[in-house]
Structure 1
Amino acid sequence: MKILLVNPPDKHFSRLAGPNQANFIHHPNAPPMGLLYLKAYLKQKTDFEVQLWNSQSPSAPGEKELRAKLLEFQPNLAGITTTTGNWYDARETARLIKSALPQCHIIVGGVHTSVYPEETLSQPEIDSIAIGEGEDTLLELALRLSRSQSPEGIPGIWFKSNGKIICNPPRQVEKNLDRFPFPDRSDFSPEQYRLSADRFSRAAIIITSRGCPFHCTFCCTIDKHYRSRSPENIVAEMLACKEQGYLAIDFYDDIFNINKNRVLKLCDEIIRQKVNLPWICRCRVTPMDEEMIAKMASAGCERIQFGVESASQRILDMIKKQITPEQVRHAFSLAKKYNILTLGYFMIGFPTETREEAQATIDFAFELDPDFAMFHCLIPVPGSEIYEQAIQSPGFFGDYGREFAKNPSPNFVWRSWSTTLTENEQFKLIRSAFLKFYFRPQYIIRSLKKLSSMEEFLAKAQTAFKILTTR
């Protein structure tokens, strides 16, 4: 049995409307972590030949190279990962594979398939889709196909039989994440992924937990079952990455600090094992307190990314954020006290939001004065509660995400939602916020003093150019 795991290209990655595009820091060299987990698990559990094809590598192999690879390797099973953002390229990749190897079974996975399962599987080139966690689902499918058996009954699989879509029962989430092997990074160089907002360090992405129990209306996280790995397991992966030449860690959890006790134990283990690698994470402002942030700083935390969203308590309550502006102030002040860099996410354009509330959110960013700020207009994304609200509004664009899932096109653009503020008014506020925040003389001087290399300078100069030129 031969299996090819495919990360499709991002040549036609969907654009964000207006100045939102300035926030879009797409890392084409970032390893596709889902596929790396799948490859490691298949190699651990089987003797199948498993290879990875990365169309987003620095060398960026194209269609000609992929076709040659297919004819040389002759996989029986091809697994393609996709988001809605690169669904067009994923579908085109499936077409290429099926045209080269008509008998190859093609399965597609990723968040997109959970949001739009029927639309994905309706594409004639696609034989099955995986919904939810993929490790055991793909393993069971590969074992079945190796025996020329049907996928019928495999939890988490939808497939086609005689032109009819068969929906197998859902797969239960895995509670014991420690049983999965570390991602197989053998196809990637530590040089490929850099933390451009910090010291441009070559970084390993590590996922310490899965799922998010919160219900923010603007978020499309499907997995609401929070589970975490043990501190010992996480630190073992950190040490393995250090041995491979990585100089920093990007903890890529939805929320790193959901459980305070877990954070404290993990930091203690990092310190005990003398990992000595800087790391960044994404946190909620609650339950952040001084004990937690002091321990994080001692364990090497260099940057925390906080979702602030709004300065208005009315808006925060409406979007089910479950935080207050005062809690935001407290978290940012603690980070500064312990010399941890901060990045804040700020959003305007919520339904019924007034211009005064939107401006207050932008002013709040200047009051907090994080090291980095991301200003967004609300983009209702498929799978979120707010998208379902938007598509019922006569002033929106209808269920255009579903239409794109049915008929992917190369020029897809995500749309903002104009309720109280027009789209143009939102764009002007966001563009002005970016320019005023990042081009303050004191901010420029502060940033220049922190530069550690010419690479970092060039990366930040490129970001500044993007802010200046994005309309």
Structure 2
Amino acid sequence: MTVYEKTADKGGILLVHPLGYAPEKADKDISRKANIMPPLGLISIAAVLDQKGVPNKVIDCHCLPDSLALILSYVKEYEPEFIGFSCTTSSFLDGVRTAEQVKEIKPDIGVVFGGPHVSALRETLISRFKVIDYLVVGEGETAIYELITSEKKKIPQIPGIVYRDDFGQAQFTGFRKKLIELDSLPFPAYRKLPGYPKAYKLPIFNYPKVPNASLISSRGCPYACSYCDRSVFRRTFRYNSSEYLYAHMEYMHKEFGIRHINFYDDQFTFNRKRIAAFCELMIRKNPGMTFNCAARAEHLDLDLLKLMKAAGCWMISLGVETGDPDLLARHRQNPDLDMLREKILLIKTAGIRVKALLMMGLPGESETSIRKSKKYVFSLPIDDFNLAKFTPFPGSPIYDQIKTPGSDLGRFDEDWEKMDCMDFIFIPKGMTKVRLDEQFIHFYKSHFTRPRVLAGYVSMAWKSPDSWRRMLQDLPDFLMFANKNKRM
């Protein structure tokens, strides 16, 4: 018997979260082991299908050895009518290769792809990759249920689907006008993930307690920054009510013993009233849990921050992106670094940790802008930071600008499998990859060798003891990763 329990149900759909890179690459790259997030979108779809009585299984290739063998054996034994892949840009081609092997075993299986890469490129993908039968554009719960339970002749009437017509031409049925009321959704089917929650890990020093988990309580973002892909939810913004949100956290605590939640919402505090009500519930009912969130500085004030602290908020991540005001103005709405500094000071006043999220390599980046960014970031009282290598994803405004014929923004090597923010695949005009890599390593080393920062990480020995346990356990991998980057 495999890690998946036997079931009498055959047919239905197998839902797959592809790996996107060779398994041995993860073993050698500490950055891929340090943050493993469950496929929340897939297990939300699985929960809806369970509710409607549709047989389904979930295979997360990120957490299972020999996941391809598991997929193929499941298809042979249970003969699902469909197989669905939820893909980012970097994992899309891995999904295609898996689908091709599945088709060799069961040629009549319906192959469905969804996710941000699919929603951005739509008809282009189904025209290019013949193994794909259908694409789901936008959120998947309703669309995929209607797709796999409808007669083939009715598929053109289902919004949110890309399919081939009788002449083999790609057709898009249009965006869904009726969006899902998020409070109507069941909680995601966490139990379909073997090893949950221990198989999934938040970044080290980003949590106080274990076990911990990830949760998303809203969909979309009302802003339109140049680097963000908004193809799945477009410019909509919806969220769970405070009551649903608290009930979800309480469920995770009771069912799985979760003690800390990381909210992956783009804009957790956008609706102040919702978060204030949620915090009041947390304070009054005291479930013994803490949480992290991401927010925009515009939607924070001291009273709310004090309330969040009392409710168990441990850390807030803020998108700084760059400390060069001119570069920031090219890519972000409301680019106010002075306001950002003020809000970071308020977060610290409330007693909450701050994590700064930055990018290097945006169009317009230069040696001067990198120096300005370092100077600005190192002047802030931040506790942690993440520096990503800018990647122009399909669906983002800057992707279209870079791809415009005659664009002189820089050189773009559009290799989808490398588009995971782990490599500089876009080189801004006037820069070189070698120099970007050098500056990237120097930025990180400069941050982590500052006395105040080092003291902060030492304090994690009692604030986040599990983080230090993981650090020591993987110390050889950390040192190998550091030495590899030192030679770049």
1:203 and 1:125, CA in 2 relative to 1: closer, same or farther beyond 3 A?
same
1:443 and 1:101, CA in 2 relative to 1: closer, same or farther beyond 3 A?
same
Instruction: Provide, for residues 242-274 of structure 1, a one-character-per-residue CA deviation record: whole Å limited to 9, x for no partner.
Output: 012212111111121112222212211222232
Instruction: Provide, for residues 171-190 of structure 1, a one-character-per-residue CA deviation record: whole Å limited to 9, x for no partner.
Output: 12525210111101112322
Find the counterpart in structure 1 of residue 55 from structure 2: 49
The code of the aligned residue for 1:310 comes to T
1:70-219 equivalences in 2 (<5 Å): 70-122=75-127, 123-145=129-151, 149-162=153-166, 163-172=168-177, 174=179, 176-188=181-193, 189-195=196-202, 196-197=204-205, 198-199=207-208, 201-219=210-228
**Alignment partner of 1:391 out of 373, 387, 403:** 403
Deviation at 1:211, TM superposition (A): 0.3
Deviation at 1:277, TM superposition (A): 0.6
State how far apart, in whole Å, the 2-side matches of 1:363 and 1:25 are. 28
1:354 and 1:394, CA in 2 relative to 1: closer, same or farther beyond 3 A?
closer
State how far apart, in whole Å, the 2-side matches of 1:409 and 1:309 are. 21
2:476 is equivalent to residue 450 of structure 1: no
Contact 1:12 1:88 in 2 (8 A): no
> Where does structure 1 lack aligned partners over 5 or more consecutive residues?
16-20
Contact 1:285 1:323 in 2 (8 A): no
State how far apart, in whole Å, the 2-side matches of 1:157 and 1:101 are. 23
In the superposition, the TM-score normalised over structure 1's length comes to: 0.89
Deviation at 1:457, TM superposition (A): 3.1
Deviation at 1:232, TM superposition (A): 0.4
Paired positions, count: 456
Deviation at 1:429, TM superposition (A): 2.1
In the superposition, the TM-score normalised over structure 2's length comes to: 0.86
3-state DSSP of counterpart to 2:46: helix
State how far apart, in whole Å, the 2-side matches of 1:104 and 1:409 are. 29
Instruction: Provide, for residues 386-441 of structure 1, a one-character-per-residue CA deviation record: whole Å limited to 9, x for no partner.
Output: 2222223257446x54xx56xx7999965123224433333322211111111234
Instruction: Provide, for residues 433-471 of structure 1, a one-character-per-residue CA deviation record: whole Å limited to 9, x for no partner.
Output: 111111234433331232214524337845565345323
2:250 is equivalent to residue 239 of structure 1: yes
Contact 1:231 1:266 in 2 (8 A): yes
The code of the aligned residue for 1:124 comes to K
Find the counterpart in structure 1 of residue 372 from structure 2: 360
Deviation at 1:200, TM superposition (A): 6.0
Deviation at 1:134, TM superposition (A): 0.5
Deviation at 1:227, TM superposition (A): 0.7
Identify which range, 351-360 or 201-210, moves more after superposition: 351-360
3-state DSSP of counterpart to 1:31: coil
3-state DSSP of counterpart to 2:179: coil
1:250 and 1:395, CA in 2 relative to 1: closer, same or farther beyond 3 A?
closer
1:299 and 1:323, CA in 2 relative to 1: closer, same or farther beyond 3 A?
farther
1:28 and 1:358, CA in 2 relative to 1: closer, same or farther beyond 3 A?
closer
Q: Relative contact order: is structure 1 or structure 2 higher (C-alpha 8 Å, sep ≥ 6)?
A: 1
Deviation at 1:370, TM superposition (A): 1.4
1:219 and 1:134, CA in 2 relative to 1: closer, same or farther beyond 3 A?
same
3-state DSSP of counterpart to 2:427: coil
1:29 and 1:350, CA in 2 relative to 1: closer, same or farther beyond 3 A?
closer
3-state DSSP of counterpart to 1:296: helix
Deviation at 1:323, TM superposition (A): 3.5
State how far apart, in whole Å, the 2-side matches of 1:465 and 1:3 are. 41
RMSD of aligned residue pairs (Cα, Å): 2.7
Instruction: Provide, for residues 269-325 of structure 1, a one-character-per-residue CA deviation record: whole Å limited to 9, x for no partner.
Output: 222232221111111111211011111111111111110112233222221331311
The code of the aligned residue for 1:7 comes to H
State how far apart, in whole Å, the 2-side matches of 1:67 and 1:89 are. 14
Contact 2:215 2:261 in 1 (8 A): yes
State how far apart, in whole Å, the 1-side matches of 2:368 and 2:339 are. 21
2:76 is equivalent to residue 62 of structure 1: no
State how far apart, in whole Å, the 2-side matches of 1:285 and 1:25 are. 29
- Percent pairwise identity: 25
